[in-house]
Amino acid sequence: MNASSPQPQAEIPPQAVLTQMTFGFIVSQAISVAAKLFIADHLKDGPKTPAELARLTETDEPSLYRLLRGLASIGVFRKDGDGRFSNSVLSEFLRSDHPESIRSAAHMICDREHWNSHGNMLRSVRTGEIAFEHTFGMPVFPYFAQNPEPAALFEEAMTSFSSSIAKAVSEAFDFSRAGTIADIGGGRGLLLAAVLKTAPAAQGILFDQPQVIENSRKALQNEGAAERMETVSGDFFREIPVEADIYLMKWIIHDWNDEQSVAILKNLARSAKPGARVLLIESVVEGDDNQPSMSKLMDLNMLVMTGGKERTEKEYADLFERSGFQLITIHPTASPMQIVEAVRI
């Protein structure tokens, strides 16, 4: 065997693999703590010692060192020979100024709301109850409406997830001839702004709840898309008073059970003209049950947090059929998400 051929992998015993998986919650929490402390931002101009980082983040130096060492052991940050830490390929994406930053998503995924609800996953599995509602006494979106701080973090995190897939989505579908493109439940509008860049003649309409639309205004100005984008606020369970050629819905239908999803899509069908397209941007569950896929773990997040679910192509086709649309095709994108295209019939 020469130096360039791969080393034989030491066989990892199955119980060790399982043990490693069992400790996954520590990985999530450690990445989230690093995100909350903006460590990657502090390293953007070069390596720093644990003492410097502890001063900048107002943390306990020996404990911070242990956090960094643990993370470096899984490729998040890197320790140099002289004991200083720097960003790694992975931790670059924890920088808040990275164009595809997932810093706020990493922060949010271990916030009180997610952490405590996932701590009650067993209850959801036993009873089918939504663990979030059991934990916080109400469904997640009304909770956010009453709690602006976690709500703002959620909106930032969604925007941060969107920034990592917006380009892939805009390139996977031809938006160039659209007249009007709406994003229903479009959050702070980052995806719509990205799509509008590929459709120079199109007008955009961003639809979401009033408090979210309010928060979107500043974000949109930063994106430079505000002049081609109108905003409409409302409740998609009441009506969606938006007429467009293409309706985007990213990570909307997965939040809801089948009856709720059909109610939203029926409201959309009342505004959409025959021939209008709906593009659901979701992680579709693949047919083979043993296939690794982000959708199957995200599905558990839906079980615990919202009572929604990730669906197969057939399940999306059924929802569309019940609400006045027909599924046309599923477009792959260069991201873990797909575009489920349907037409208003």
Active site members: 254
The residue among 57 and 295 lying less far from ligand SAH, judged by its C-beta, is 295
The residue among 115 and 141 lying less far from ligand SAH, judged by its C-beta, is 141
Q: Is 128 left (phi over 0), alpha (psi -120 to 50) or beta?
A: left
Q: Looking only at residues 121 through 160 of this chain, which bind ligand SAH when binding is defined by CB under 6 A?
A: 141, 158
CB of residue 270 vs ligand SAH: minimum separation in angstroms? 15
Task: Tell me which of 41, 133, 156, 208 binds ligand SAH, using CB under 6 A.
Answer: 208
Q: Looking only at residues 302 through 321 of this chain, which bind ligand SAH when binding is defined by CB under 6 A?
A: none
3-state secondary structure 151-207: HHHHHHHHHHHHHHHHHHHHHHCCCCCCCEEEEECCCCCHHHHHHHHCCCCCEEEEE
Name the β-bridge partners of 86: 78
**Tokens standing for residue 260:** 């709720």
CA distances, 221 to each of 20, 76, 112, 186, 216 (Å): 44, 33, 31, 15, 9
The residue among 202 and 264 lying less far from ligand SAH, judged by its C-beta, is 264
**Tokens standing for residue 74:** 């899984």
Q: Looking only at residues 209 through 268 of this chain, which bind ligand SAH when binding is defined by CB under 6 A?
A: 209, 212, 235-237, 250-252, 255
The residue among 186 and 204 lying less far from ligand SAH, judged by its C-beta, is 186
Interhelix angle for 190-197 vs 210-223, to 10°?
40
Piece of 18-26, 88-96, 204-212, 308-316 that binds ligand SAH (CB under 6 A): 204-212
Tokens 């643990």 correspond to 70
CB of residue 250 vs ligand SAH: minimum separation in angstroms? 4
CB of residue 334 vs ligand SAH: minimum separation in angstroms? 17
Are 304 and 130 in contact by the 8 Å Cβ rule? The answer is yes
For residue 249, the SS3 value is strand
Task: For residue 189, state whether it binds ligand SAH (rule: CB under 6 A).
Answer: no
Piece of 48-56, 185-193, 269-277, 316-324 that binds ligand SAH (CB under 6 A): 185-193
The residue among 88 and 215 lying less far from ligand SAH, judged by its C-beta, is 215
Name the β-bridge partners of 248: 183, 279
How many residues touch ligand SAH (CB under 6 A)?
16
| Chain positions contacting ligand SAH, by CB under 6 A | 141, 158, 162, 185-187, 208-209, 212, 235-237, 250-252, 255
